[in-house]
Structure 1
Amino acid sequence: MQLSNAEEQLMQILWKKKRAFMKDLVEAYPEPKPAMTTVATLLKRMQDKQFVNYDQKGRSREYFPLVKKQDYFSRQMNGMIKNFFNDSASQFASFFTQQTDLSKTELEELRKIIDQEIKKK
Protein backbone atom coordinates (compact mmCIF):
# COMPACT_ATOMS: atom_id res chain seq x y z
CA MET A 1 0.00 0.00 0.00
CA GLN A 2 1.28 3.43 -0.92
CA LEU A 3 0.76 6.89 0.52
CA SER A 4 -0.23 9.96 -1.47
CA ASN A 5 2.16 12.93 -1.34
CA ALA A 6 -0.05 14.66 1.24
CA GLU A 7 -0.23 11.51 3.38
CA GLU A 8 3.53 11.01 3.12
CA GLN A 9 4.12 14.60 4.27
CA LEU A 10 1.92 13.96 7.31
CA MET A 11 3.69 10.63 7.99
CA GLN A 12 7.03 12.46 7.95
CA ILE A 13 5.73 14.70 10.74
CA LEU A 14 4.35 11.76 12.70
CA TRP A 15 7.56 9.73 12.35
CA LYS A 16 9.47 12.72 13.71
CA LYS A 17 7.10 13.28 16.64
CA LYS A 18 6.44 9.55 17.32
CA ARG A 19 3.09 10.39 18.99
CA ALA A 20 0.98 13.50 18.51
CA PHE A 21 -2.46 15.01 18.87
CA MET A 22 -4.06 16.51 15.78
CA LYS A 23 -3.38 20.11 16.88
CA ASP A 24 0.33 19.24 17.25
CA LEU A 25 0.37 17.74 13.76
CA VAL A 26 -1.26 20.83 12.23
CA GLU A 27 1.22 23.06 14.13
CA ALA A 28 4.16 21.11 12.67
CA TYR A 29 3.20 21.96 9.08
CA PRO A 30 4.93 24.84 7.34
CA GLU A 31 2.81 27.83 6.32
CA PRO A 32 0.20 27.83 4.92
CA LYS A 33 -0.99 25.24 7.44
CA PRO A 34 -3.74 22.86 6.29
CA ALA A 35 -7.20 22.99 7.82
CA MET A 36 -7.87 20.68 10.77
CA THR A 37 -10.50 18.89 8.63
CA THR A 38 -7.90 18.20 5.93
CA VAL A 39 -5.54 16.61 8.44
CA ALA A 40 -8.45 14.61 9.94
CA THR A 41 -9.30 13.27 6.47
CA LEU A 42 -5.67 12.33 5.81
CA LEU A 43 -5.41 10.58 9.20
CA LYS A 44 -8.61 8.61 8.51
CA ARG A 45 -7.30 7.46 5.11
CA MET A 46 -3.92 6.56 6.63
CA GLN A 47 -5.70 4.63 9.37
CA ASP A 48 -7.71 2.73 6.74
CA LYS A 49 -4.40 1.88 5.02
CA GLN A 50 -3.04 0.74 8.42
CA PHE A 51 -0.23 3.30 8.53
CA VAL A 52 -1.42 5.04 11.71
CA ASN A 53 -3.59 4.38 14.72
CA TYR A 54 -4.52 6.33 17.82
CA ASP A 55 -5.10 6.08 21.55
CA GLN A 56 -8.18 7.83 22.88
CA LYS A 57 -7.13 10.33 25.58
CA GLY A 58 -10.33 11.84 26.97
CA ARG A 59 -11.97 13.58 24.04
CA SER A 60 -8.75 13.72 21.99
CA ARG A 61 -6.91 11.16 19.92
CA GLU A 62 -3.17 10.70 20.17
CA TYR A 63 -1.91 9.39 16.84
CA PHE A 64 1.11 7.17 16.30
CA PRO A 65 2.67 5.42 13.28
CA LEU A 66 2.14 1.71 12.74
CA VAL A 67 4.78 1.54 10.00
CA LYS A 68 8.44 2.36 10.59
CA LYS A 69 9.95 5.00 8.34
CA GLN A 70 12.79 2.70 7.29
CA ASP A 71 10.36 -0.11 6.37
CA TYR A 72 8.21 2.24 4.28
CA PHE A 73 11.13 3.72 2.36
CA SER A 74 12.71 0.31 1.88
CA ARG A 75 9.46 -0.89 0.25
CA GLN A 76 9.31 2.29 -1.86
CA MET A 77 12.89 1.86 -3.08
CA ASN A 78 12.39 -1.82 -3.87
CA GLY A 79 9.21 -0.96 -5.79
CA MET A 80 10.99 1.77 -7.71
CA ILE A 81 13.86 -0.56 -8.64
CA LYS A 82 11.34 -3.20 -9.76
CA ASN A 83 9.13 -0.81 -11.74
CA PHE A 84 11.67 1.57 -13.27
CA PHE A 85 14.85 -0.50 -13.52
CA ASN A 86 13.55 -3.96 -14.53
CA ASP A 87 14.18 -5.27 -11.01
CA SER A 88 17.89 -4.67 -11.58
CA ALA A 89 19.87 -3.11 -8.73
CA SER A 90 22.82 -2.60 -11.07
CA GLN A 91 20.67 -0.58 -13.52
CA PHE A 92 19.48 1.52 -10.58
CA ALA A 93 23.05 1.99 -9.30
CA SER A 94 24.24 3.01 -12.76
CA PHE A 95 21.43 5.56 -13.11
CA PHE A 96 21.91 6.84 -9.55
CA THR A 97 25.66 7.34 -9.82
CA GLN A 98 25.49 8.96 -13.26
CA GLN A 99 22.45 11.20 -12.77
CA THR A 100 23.00 12.56 -9.26
CA ASP A 101 26.30 14.35 -9.89
CA LEU A 102 28.06 12.71 -6.95
CA SER A 103 31.54 13.87 -6.04
CA LYS A 104 34.52 11.50 -6.11
CA THR A 105 34.43 11.44 -2.29
CA GLU A 106 30.74 10.50 -2.26
CA LEU A 107 31.33 7.72 -4.79
CA GLU A 108 34.21 6.39 -2.67
CA GLU A 109 31.93 6.40 0.38
CA LEU A 110 29.35 4.42 -1.60
CA ARG A 111 32.05 1.93 -2.59
CA LYS A 112 32.98 1.47 1.10
CA ILE A 113 29.33 0.79 1.99
CA ILE A 114 29.02 -1.76 -0.82
CA ASP A 115 32.33 -3.41 0.12
CA GLN A 116 31.13 -3.74 3.73
CA GLU A 117 27.87 -5.35 2.59
CA ILE A 118 29.81 -7.80 0.36
CA LYS A 119 31.95 -8.84 3.36
CA LYS A 120 28.79 -9.50 5.42
CA LYS A 121 27.49 -11.90 2.78
Structure 2
Amino acid sequence: MKLSRTEEELMNHLWKLKRAYMKDLLDAYSEPKPATTTISTLLKRMQDKEFVGYDAAGKLREYYPLVTKENYFSKHLKGLIKNFFNDSPAQFASFFTKKAELSEEELLHLKSIIDEQLNQKK
Protein backbone atom coordinates (compact mmCIF):
# COMPACT_ATOMS: atom_id res chain seq x y z
CA MET A 1 0.00 0.00 0.00
CA LYS A 2 1.14 3.52 -0.75
CA LEU A 3 0.99 6.78 1.17
CA SER A 4 -0.15 10.04 -0.38
CA ARG A 5 2.32 12.93 -0.58
CA THR A 6 0.84 14.58 2.55
CA GLU A 7 0.84 11.25 4.40
CA GLU A 8 4.50 10.73 3.44
CA GLU A 9 5.34 14.18 4.79
CA LEU A 10 3.67 13.36 8.11
CA MET A 11 5.29 9.93 8.16
CA ASN A 12 8.71 11.54 7.69
CA HIS A 13 8.10 13.62 10.82
CA LEU A 14 7.03 10.51 12.70
CA TRP A 15 10.08 8.54 11.56
CA LYS A 16 12.33 11.36 12.83
CA LEU A 17 10.49 11.67 16.15
CA LYS A 18 10.01 7.87 16.59
CA ARG A 19 7.08 8.48 18.98
CA ALA A 20 4.97 11.63 19.07
CA TYR A 21 1.83 13.25 20.39
CA MET A 22 -0.31 15.46 18.16
CA LYS A 23 1.43 18.59 19.51
CA ASP A 24 4.87 17.15 18.63
CA LEU A 25 3.73 16.41 15.09
CA LEU A 26 2.28 19.90 14.63
CA ASP A 27 5.49 21.44 15.99
CA ALA A 28 7.51 19.49 13.40
CA TYR A 29 5.82 21.40 10.55
CA SER A 30 7.05 24.79 9.40
CA GLU A 31 4.61 27.69 9.00
CA PRO A 32 1.91 27.69 7.87
CA LYS A 33 1.17 24.64 10.00
CA PRO A 34 -1.66 22.31 8.98
CA ALA A 35 -4.82 22.24 11.07
CA THR A 36 -5.06 19.74 13.89
CA THR A 37 -8.06 18.19 12.14
CA THR A 38 -5.98 17.67 8.99
CA ILE A 39 -3.24 15.84 10.92
CA SER A 40 -5.89 13.83 12.79
CA THR A 41 -7.50 12.76 9.50
CA LEU A 42 -4.12 11.81 8.00
CA LEU A 43 -3.22 9.79 11.10
CA LYS A 44 -6.55 7.93 10.94
CA ARG A 45 -6.00 7.06 7.27
CA MET A 46 -2.43 5.97 8.02
CA GLN A 47 -3.71 3.75 10.86
CA ASP A 48 -6.22 2.19 8.50
CA LYS A 49 -3.36 1.49 6.06
CA GLU A 50 -1.37 0.00 8.98
CA PHE A 51 1.50 2.48 8.78
CA VAL A 52 0.88 4.10 12.18
CA GLY A 53 -0.03 2.79 15.60
CA TYR A 54 -0.66 4.56 18.88
CA ASP A 55 -0.69 4.09 22.63
CA ALA A 56 -3.48 5.82 24.54
CA ALA A 57 -2.60 7.81 27.65
CA GLY A 58 -5.90 9.13 28.94
CA LYS A 59 -7.32 11.32 26.19
CA LEU A 60 -3.92 11.65 24.50
CA ARG A 61 -2.52 9.35 21.87
CA GLU A 62 1.18 8.76 21.36
CA TYR A 63 1.72 7.78 17.72
CA TYR A 64 4.53 5.65 16.35
CA PRO A 65 5.45 4.17 12.95
CA LEU A 66 4.59 0.54 12.26
CA VAL A 67 6.78 0.51 9.12
CA THR A 68 10.41 1.55 8.94
CA LYS A 69 11.45 4.24 6.49
CA GLU A 70 13.89 1.82 4.89
CA ASN A 71 11.22 -0.85 4.29
CA TYR A 72 8.72 1.66 2.92
CA PHE A 73 11.11 3.19 0.41
CA SER A 74 12.59 -0.18 -0.51
CA LYS A 75 9.14 -1.39 -1.62
CA HIS A 76 8.56 1.92 -3.37
CA LEU A 77 11.84 1.67 -5.25
CA LYS A 78 11.18 -1.93 -6.29
CA GLY A 79 7.79 -0.90 -7.68
CA LEU A 80 9.36 2.05 -9.50
CA ILE A 81 12.00 -0.18 -11.09
CA LYS A 82 9.38 -2.77 -12.06
CA ASN A 83 6.91 -0.27 -13.53
CA PHE A 84 9.21 2.23 -15.21
CA PHE A 85 12.44 0.38 -15.95
CA ASN A 86 11.23 -3.01 -17.21
CA ASP A 87 12.10 -4.61 -13.86
CA SER A 88 15.77 -3.86 -14.58
CA PRO A 89 17.87 -2.34 -11.79
CA ALA A 90 20.61 -1.73 -14.39
CA GLN A 91 18.25 0.46 -16.49
CA PHE A 92 17.31 2.37 -13.34
CA ALA A 93 20.95 2.85 -12.34
CA SER A 94 21.84 4.03 -15.84
CA PHE A 95 18.97 6.53 -15.86
CA PHE A 96 19.75 7.71 -12.34
CA THR A 97 23.46 8.26 -12.92
CA LYS A 98 22.86 10.13 -16.19
CA LYS A 99 19.86 12.26 -15.19
CA ALA A 100 20.86 13.10 -11.62
CA GLU A 101 23.91 15.00 -12.91
CA LEU A 102 26.15 13.50 -10.25
CA SER A 103 29.58 14.91 -9.59
CA GLU A 104 32.68 12.79 -10.09
CA GLU A 105 32.96 12.50 -6.31
CA GLU A 106 29.36 11.25 -6.03
CA LEU A 107 29.88 8.73 -8.84
CA LEU A 108 33.05 7.44 -7.15
CA HIS A 109 31.14 7.09 -3.90
CA LEU A 110 28.42 5.07 -5.69
CA LYS A 111 31.11 2.93 -7.28
CA SER A 112 32.63 2.21 -3.86
CA ILE A 113 29.19 1.17 -2.54
CA ILE A 114 28.75 -1.20 -5.51
CA ASP A 115 32.28 -2.57 -5.07
CA GLU A 116 31.56 -3.20 -1.39
CA GLN A 117 28.35 -5.08 -2.26
CA LEU A 118 30.22 -7.16 -4.85
CA ASN A 119 32.85 -8.09 -2.26
CA GLN A 120 30.16 -9.20 0.18
CA LYS A 121 28.63 -11.48 -2.50
CA LYS A 122 31.90 -13.36 -2.96
2:54 partner SS: strand
Q: Distance in 1 between matches of 2:99 and 2:18?
A: 34
Quote how far apart the aligned CAs of 1:105 are.
1.4
Partner in structure 2 of residue 120 of structure 1: 120
Identity of aligned residues (%): 62
Partner in structure 2 of residue 94 of structure 1: 94
2:56 partner SS: strand
Match runs of 1:8-87 below 5 Å: 8-87=8-87
Q: Distance in 2 between matches of 1:115 and 1:12?
A: 30
Structure 2, unpaired ranges of 5+: none
Tell me the amino acid that sits aligned with residue 63 of structure 1: Y
Normalising by structure 2, report the TM-score: 0.97
**1:7-58 CA distances to partner (integer Å, 9 max, x unpaired)?**
0000000000000011111111111100000000000000000000100011
Normalising by structure 1, report the TM-score: 0.98
Quote how far apart the aligned CAs of 1:106 are.
1.0
Q: Distance in 1 between matches of 2:109 and 2:35?
A: 43
Partner in structure 2 of residue 111 of structure 1: 111
Structure 1: which 4+ aligned runs deviate by more than 3 Å? Answer: none
